[in-house]
Protein backbone atom coordinates (compact mmCIF):
# COMPACT_ATOMS: atom_id res chain seq x y z
CA UNK A 1 0.00 0.00 0.00
CA UNK A 2 2.81 2.40 0.88
CA UNK A 3 4.50 1.79 -2.50
CA UNK A 4 1.23 2.49 -4.29
CA UNK A 5 0.73 5.72 -2.36
CA UNK A 6 4.33 6.83 -2.94
CA UNK A 7 4.11 6.18 -6.67
CA UNK A 8 0.68 7.79 -7.19
CA UNK A 9 1.16 10.78 -9.50
CA UNK A 10 -2.39 12.12 -9.36
CA UNK A 11 -5.38 12.13 -11.66
CA UNK A 12 -5.14 13.99 -14.95
CA UNK A 13 -7.03 17.32 -15.12
CA UNK A 14 -7.45 17.48 -11.32
CA UNK A 15 -4.81 19.85 -9.89
CA UNK A 16 -2.25 17.88 -11.88
CA UNK A 17 1.31 19.25 -12.32
CA UNK A 18 2.24 19.95 -15.93
CA UNK A 19 5.93 19.74 -16.88
CA UNK A 20 7.58 22.79 -18.45
CA UNK A 21 10.94 23.57 -20.01
CA UNK A 22 11.18 26.54 -17.63
CA UNK A 23 11.92 24.90 -14.29
CA UNK A 24 11.58 28.10 -12.22
CA UNK A 25 7.78 28.18 -12.55
CA UNK A 26 5.05 25.65 -11.80
CA UNK A 27 1.97 24.87 -13.87
CA UNK A 28 -1.13 22.97 -12.73
CA UNK A 29 -3.99 21.56 -14.79
CA UNK A 30 -7.35 21.51 -13.00
CA UNK A 31 -9.48 21.51 -16.15
CA UNK A 32 -12.10 19.39 -14.38
CA UNK A 33 -13.02 22.40 -12.20
CA UNK A 34 -16.47 23.67 -13.19
CA UNK A 35 -17.57 25.45 -9.99
CA UNK A 36 -16.29 27.93 -7.41
CA UNK A 37 -15.71 25.31 -4.72
CA UNK A 38 -13.43 23.28 -6.99
CA UNK A 39 -11.50 26.39 -8.01
CA UNK A 40 -11.15 27.45 -4.38
CA UNK A 41 -9.74 24.06 -3.44
CA UNK A 42 -7.29 24.25 -6.33
CA UNK A 43 -6.14 27.74 -5.27
CA UNK A 44 -5.70 26.55 -1.70
CA UNK A 45 -3.79 23.50 -2.89
CA UNK A 46 -1.22 25.46 -4.89
CA UNK A 47 -0.85 28.55 -2.70
CA UNK A 48 2.36 27.20 -1.11
CA UNK A 49 3.81 26.14 -4.49
CA UNK A 50 5.01 29.59 -5.51
CA UNK A 51 5.04 33.31 -4.90
CA UNK A 52 2.32 34.52 -7.27
CA UNK A 53 -0.60 32.56 -8.69
CA UNK A 54 -1.97 33.34 -12.13
CA UNK A 55 -5.43 31.76 -12.37
CA UNK A 56 -7.01 30.93 -15.73
CA UNK A 57 -10.74 31.34 -15.15
CA UNK A 58 -13.84 31.17 -17.32
CA UNK A 59 -15.71 29.11 -19.83
CA UNK A 60 -19.28 28.48 -20.88
CA UNK A 61 -22.02 30.63 -19.37
CA UNK A 62 -24.64 28.80 -17.39
CA UNK A 63 -27.91 29.78 -15.76
CA UNK A 64 -26.98 29.93 -12.09
CA UNK A 65 -23.72 31.29 -10.77
CA UNK A 66 -22.44 32.63 -7.51
CA UNK A 67 -20.84 36.05 -7.29
CA UNK A 68 -17.14 36.11 -8.01
CA UNK A 69 -16.83 39.14 -5.72
CA UNK A 70 -18.00 37.06 -2.76
CA UNK A 71 -15.58 34.33 -3.81
CA UNK A 72 -12.60 36.67 -4.06
CA UNK A 73 -13.47 38.63 -0.94
CA UNK A 74 -13.12 35.43 1.08
CA UNK A 75 -10.26 33.81 -0.79
CA UNK A 76 -8.17 36.36 -2.66
CA UNK A 77 -5.26 34.05 -3.42
CA UNK A 78 -4.68 34.86 -7.08
CA UNK A 79 -2.11 37.46 -8.13
CA UNK A 80 -3.82 37.89 -11.50
CA UNK A 81 -6.82 36.29 -13.16
CA UNK A 82 -6.67 35.46 -16.86
CA UNK A 83 -10.19 35.35 -18.30
CA UNK A 84 -11.13 32.93 -21.09
CA UNK A 85 -14.33 31.88 -22.80
CA UNK A 86 -17.90 33.16 -22.95
CA UNK A 87 -17.81 34.38 -19.36
CA UNK A 88 -14.92 36.83 -19.91
CA UNK A 89 -16.97 40.01 -20.25
CA UNK A 90 -19.31 39.13 -17.39
CA UNK A 91 -16.42 38.26 -15.07
CA UNK A 92 -14.43 41.33 -16.09
CA UNK A 93 -17.28 43.60 -15.00
CA UNK A 94 -17.31 41.93 -11.57
CA UNK A 95 -13.53 41.90 -11.19
CA UNK A 96 -12.98 45.56 -12.06
CA UNK A 97 -11.38 47.23 -9.06
CA UNK A 98 -11.31 44.00 -7.05
CA UNK A 99 -8.34 42.05 -8.38
CA UNK A 100 -5.94 42.41 -11.32
CA UNK A 101 -7.18 40.58 -14.42
CA UNK A 102 -6.76 40.36 -18.17
CA UNK A 103 -9.33 39.33 -20.75
CA UNK A 104 -7.28 36.94 -22.89
CA UNK A 105 -10.11 34.90 -24.49
CA UNK A 106 -8.12 31.69 -25.14
CA UNK A 107 -5.75 29.32 -23.38
CA UNK A 108 -2.85 30.06 -25.72
CA UNK A 109 -3.14 33.80 -25.07
CA UNK A 110 -3.34 33.15 -21.31
CA UNK A 111 -0.16 31.08 -21.40
CA UNK A 112 1.63 33.68 -23.54
CA UNK A 113 0.65 36.45 -21.11
CA UNK A 114 1.88 34.38 -18.17
CA UNK A 115 5.18 33.80 -19.97
CA UNK A 116 5.57 37.54 -20.63
CA UNK A 117 4.93 38.45 -16.97
CA UNK A 118 6.27 35.45 -15.06
CA UNK A 119 8.96 35.62 -12.43
CA UNK A 120 10.80 32.74 -10.77
CA UNK A 121 8.55 30.77 -8.43
CA UNK A 122 5.30 31.91 -10.10
CA UNK A 123 2.42 29.48 -10.57
CA UNK A 124 0.03 29.13 -13.51
CA UNK A 125 -3.20 27.37 -12.56
CA UNK A 126 -5.94 26.34 -14.97
CA UNK A 127 -8.98 25.99 -12.72
CA UNK A 128 -11.75 27.62 -14.74
CA UNK A 129 -14.82 27.24 -12.44
CA UNK A 130 -17.04 27.00 -15.55
CA UNK A 131 -17.96 24.29 -18.06
CA UNK A 132 -15.72 23.87 -21.11
CA UNK A 133 -18.30 23.49 -23.88
CA UNK A 134 -17.88 27.04 -25.26
CA UNK A 135 -14.43 26.29 -26.72
CA UNK A 136 -13.82 22.57 -26.14
CA UNK A 137 -15.50 19.17 -26.50
CA UNK A 138 -15.33 18.59 -22.73
CA UNK A 139 -13.09 19.18 -19.72
CA UNK A 140 -10.62 16.49 -20.85
CA UNK A 141 -10.22 18.20 -24.23
CA UNK A 142 -9.67 21.52 -22.42
CA UNK A 143 -7.06 19.90 -20.17
CA UNK A 144 -5.29 18.10 -23.01
CA UNK A 145 -5.10 21.28 -25.09
CA UNK A 146 -3.74 23.13 -22.05
CA UNK A 147 -0.98 20.53 -21.59
CA UNK A 148 -0.10 20.68 -25.29
CA UNK A 149 0.08 24.48 -25.25
CA UNK A 150 2.19 24.52 -22.09
CA UNK A 151 4.63 22.09 -23.73
CA UNK A 152 4.87 24.37 -26.78
CA UNK A 153 5.05 27.74 -25.00
CA UNK A 154 6.66 27.09 -21.63
33-77 tens-digit pLDDT: 999 889 989 998 998 887 899 999 999 988 655 566 666 665 567
| Residues 48, 49, 50, 56, Cα dihedral to 10° | -100
**Is the pTM value of this prediction over 0.75?**
yes
pLDDT in tens, 3-19: 766 665 666 777 999 99
Determine the longest span between alpha carbons in the chain, in angstroms.
49
Amino acid sequence: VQRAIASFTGVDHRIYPVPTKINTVKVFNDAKSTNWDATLKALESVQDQGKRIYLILGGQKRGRRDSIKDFLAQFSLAHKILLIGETSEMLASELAGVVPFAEVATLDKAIHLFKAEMRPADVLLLSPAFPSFDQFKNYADRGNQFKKLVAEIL
